[in-house]
Structure 1
Amino acid sequence: MIPARTLEEAQILAQAIVNTIPEPFLVLDERFRVLTASRSFCETFKVTPDETEGNLLYALGDGQWDIPALRTLLETIIPDRVAMDGFEVKHDFPGVGWRNMLLNARKVIYQESANITILLAFRDVTATRAIEQEKAALLQQAEELVRQKQVLLQEMQHRVANSLQIIASILLLKARAVSSEETRFHLQDAHQRVMSVAAVQQYLHATDGVDQIDVGAYFEKLCAGLASSMIGDVQPIMIDVMAEKGMVDSSEAVSLGLIVTELVINAIKYAFPQSKPGAKILVTYEIDESDWKLVVSDNGIGKGDSDIGAKDGGLGTTIIKALAKQLSASVEMSAGNDGLTVSITRATFTSRMPKAA
């Protein structure tokens, strides 16, 4: 038998603990009558202890707590469990407004009594849910803006592709119409430059605006397109690509693609003036962290676009050097009886790849 004084002190201590809890808190009996309501509960839901304690929970505040979700928790879940955490209740409370409450419940079973006590704690997550909804709405707006941007980008890419095709067609028609061999050569050369830009643009369009481009797949598709459009049956030329796995920004991929296209076109046009068995162009790309080395070599006669390494090269030379400068890379060329090799290198790089042979 617990002494009356000790029991009274325990009750005072328990009530003090309940009132100290910053979140709304109720103590219910097994019939869901309120034994104790914390000060925070009374302040949050604008009730007094006299209006709350001793009354059925569902009858509080003219039935404002007669909530189906709360009944489910107390009458269905709690009888089968000792505890339940994070049970969400949404309700419009008179005088308080719409609230999202997370309920944590504990069933207390006594060893020497058949009585059961239910501890019910409430956590107001209304503001949190509002922020989450706002974030979801903003995310949806952002996704819609991205979608619109992609549509505009695709439309722009489509227009650019059409424009390049039109320009290339006009240049080719003009080249066929002029009588001057020199003018025809320059028009055909300009046509080929436009087609090289179109080849790069076509691949980037296929990536749907992806920020990172797979270098190996990129070069393979570029070279395959150039081979199918420029290499005839009279002088078959094999174009091989050996690229280490790596990703580059789409902006950097444009410059790399234009360089590869220029060098491959240059090799196709100048390296094999006469038929040669086993004619080959090799494109290699190696990566060492932020450094890289791009090499385009052939096993032709060892001549290129007015000799790319020369001080005064042709249009292709100018384009390649300008693109390399954009990439903070250097250009080197070596030519001999075994062909021409052009290397574009960022920083110091020791090559591990073979040359065309």
Structure 2
Amino acid sequence: MFHPIANIEDAQTLAQAIVNTIVEPFLVLDEKFHVLAASRSFYQTFKVDPEQTHGALLYALGNGQWDIPALRLLLETIIPEKTAMDGFEVEYDFPNIGRRTMLLNARKVLYDHSSAITILLAFNDITARRVIEKEKAELLGRTEELLRQKDVLLREMEHRVANSLQIIASILLLKARSVTSEETRQHLKDAHQRVLSVAEVQRHLHTEAGLDEIDVGSYLPKLCSSLASSMVGDAQPIAVNVTAQGGRIDSQKAVSLGLIVTELVLNAIKYAFPREKAAALIQVSWETNDSDWKLTVSDNGAGKLANDVSSVGLGTAIVEALVKQLEARVDVVSDSSGTSVSVTRATFTSRIPRAA
């Protein structure tokens, strides 16, 4: 059988019991901000005496130490205009417990048959959360500063590497001019050109400094354009065309790829056209299929008649070592219509024709 609350005393007892079950510190205030009820967690958290709290003006608690400007703003300015306010943050040196960061949630209760107003006020201590957030922010700031310093050091290192490569190339060229042996001179010139090639690869990668991945579609045309402008002579004009699909690879693989392209293009420029040929062409193509890719450098030169790609020279050894690093394979087709060298990762069916 249902038994309604018999009198006001029973209702007050029930209300106080409900308030005491609330985990967060909780206050019930009248319209003049006097404390009508407080939860047990409020007394435990703020270490105040129930006898000095019940019926007292909120601002007078702790000898006036609860006269907090932010709390006054909430109760006297915001609440009269609204029936509720959530997440009002207050940072204050609270009496007895020290500095805390609190989120205040307030509700204004209106009654149908009375002009009285009751204000419900809950405190959520987020001090620990704010400390953790601050530590995370400081850690993030330190991390960003370390990354910035790393980037500065990396750029400085790249600048020094570029200067060192230029110095080495100059020394090799000077030495090549001073030796009497033609074979030694040629070896020194080859070494000089390879150092310049490494410098060229490094320079192009430097333009995208700070990126973990390189856009091959823009990287290869720039690299090949530089190689053609520096190596192709007037005696035998050679066009170097690049067809590159989109796609990005990590910078470490981009270095290996650039060096392979450099070796193959330079080899074609030096050996594919022993005699003058109209419309001489070197075609560089880059194709992708998901994680697989294929790089092809072909020419329409003399082929195996003048360019014996089966011979194991330094350039061939360099290419083979780089291809192994990329977990790819090399395929060579060379006949009277030209030479095509393909570097393929996994199985890939080419859709771009070779130079003709």
Measured against the shorter chain, the TM-score band is over 0.9
Deviation of residue 24 (structure 1)?
0.7
Correspondences of 1:142-157 after superposition (within 5 Å): 142-157=143-158
- Unpaired runs of 5+ residues, structure 1, are none
Q: What residue number does 1:63 align with?
A: 64
What is the CA–CA distance in structure 2 between the aligned matches of 1:268 and 1:171, rounded to whole Å?
21
Deviation of residue 12 (structure 1)?
2.0
Query: Which letter does structure 2 place at the counterpart of 1:145?
Result: L
Deviation of residue 4 (structure 1)?
7.2
Q: What residue number does 1:347 align with?
A: 346
Matched, 1:132 2:133: yes
Q: What residue number does 1:75 align with?
A: 76
What is the CA–CA distance in structure 2 between the aligned matches of 1:10 and 1:351, rounded to whole Å?
85
Q: What residue number does 1:314 align with?
A: 313
C-alpha contact 1:271 1:304 (8 A) present in aligned 2: no
Query: Which letter does structure 1 place at the counterpart of 2:185?
Result: R
Deviation of residue 261 (structure 1)?
0.9
C-alpha contact 2:272 2:299 (8 A) present in aligned 1: yes
Query: Which letter does structure 2 place at the counterpart of 1:224?
Result: S
What is the CA–CA distance in structure 1 between the aligned matches of 2:135 and 2:23, rounded to whole Å?
27
What is the CA–CA distance in structure 1 between the aligned matches of 2:307 and 2:9, rounded to whole Å?
105
What is the CA–CA distance in structure 2 between the aligned matches of 1:304 and 1:24, rounded to whole Å?
92
C-alpha contact 1:329 1:347 (8 A) present in aligned 2: yes
Deviation of residue 163 (structure 1)?
0.7
Change (3 A) 1:305 1:104: farther
Deviation of residue 11 (structure 1)?
2.3
What is the CA–CA distance in structure 1 between the aligned matches of 2:347 and 2:182, rounded to whole Å?
43
What is the CA–CA distance in structure 2 between the aligned matches of 1:97 and 1:354, rounded to whole Å?
77
Between 293-302 and 226-235, the greater mean CA deviation after superposition: 226-235
What TM-score do the two structures reach when normalised by structure 1?
0.95
Change (3 A) 1:4 1:257: closer
| Percentage of identical aligned residues | 67
Deviation of residue 315 (structure 1)?
0.8
Deviation of residue 275 (structure 1)?
2.7
Matched, 1:328 2:324: no
Deviation of residue 112 (structure 1)?
1.2
Deviation of residue 113 (structure 1)?
1.1
Correspondences of 1:162-311 after superposition (within 5 Å): 162-303=163-304, 307-308=308-309, 310=310
Q: Is the partner of 2:293 in helix, strand or coil? A: strand
What is the CA–CA distance in structure 2 between the aligned matches of 1:182 and 1:157, rounded to whole Å?
33
Between 96-105 and 216-225, the greater mean CA deviation after superposition: 216-225
Instruction: String of CA shifts for 1:4-26, please: whole Å, max 9, x gaps.
Output: 72433332222112111111111
C-alpha contact 1:304 1:340 (8 A) present in aligned 2: no
Instruction: String of CA shifts for 1:147-182, please: whole Å, max 9, x gaps.
Output: 111111111111111110001011111112222211
Query: Which letter does structure 1 place at the counterpart of 2:77?
Result: T
C-alpha contact 1:240 1:281 (8 A) present in aligned 2: yes
Change (3 A) 1:178 1:74: same
What is the CA–CA distance in structure 2 between the aligned matches of 1:134 and 1:289, rounded to whole Å?
41
C-alpha contact 1:270 1:304 (8 A) present in aligned 2: no
Q: Is the partner of 2:352 in helix, strand or coil? A: coil
Correspondences of 1:78-93 after superposition (within 5 Å): 78-93=79-94
What is the CA–CA distance in structure 1 between the aligned matches of 2:321 and 2:306, rounded to whole Å?
15
Query: Which letter does structure 2 place at the counterpart of 1:118?
Result: I
C-alpha contact 1:305 1:313 (8 A) present in aligned 2: no
- Unpaired runs of 5+ residues, structure 2, are none
Instruction: String of CA shifts for 1:231-285, please: whole Å, max 9, x gaps.
Output: 2333222222212211111111111111011111111111122332222211111
* Alignment root-mean-square deviation, CA: 1.6
Query: Which letter does structure 2 place at the counterpart of 1:340?
Result: T
What is the CA–CA distance in structure 2 between the aligned matches of 1:240 and 1:6, rounded to whole Å?
96
Query: Which letter does structure 2 place at the counterpart of 1:257?
Result: G
What TM-score do the two structures reach when normalised by structure 2?
0.95
Matched residues, number: 353
C-alpha contact 2:59 2:65 (8 A) present in aligned 1: yes
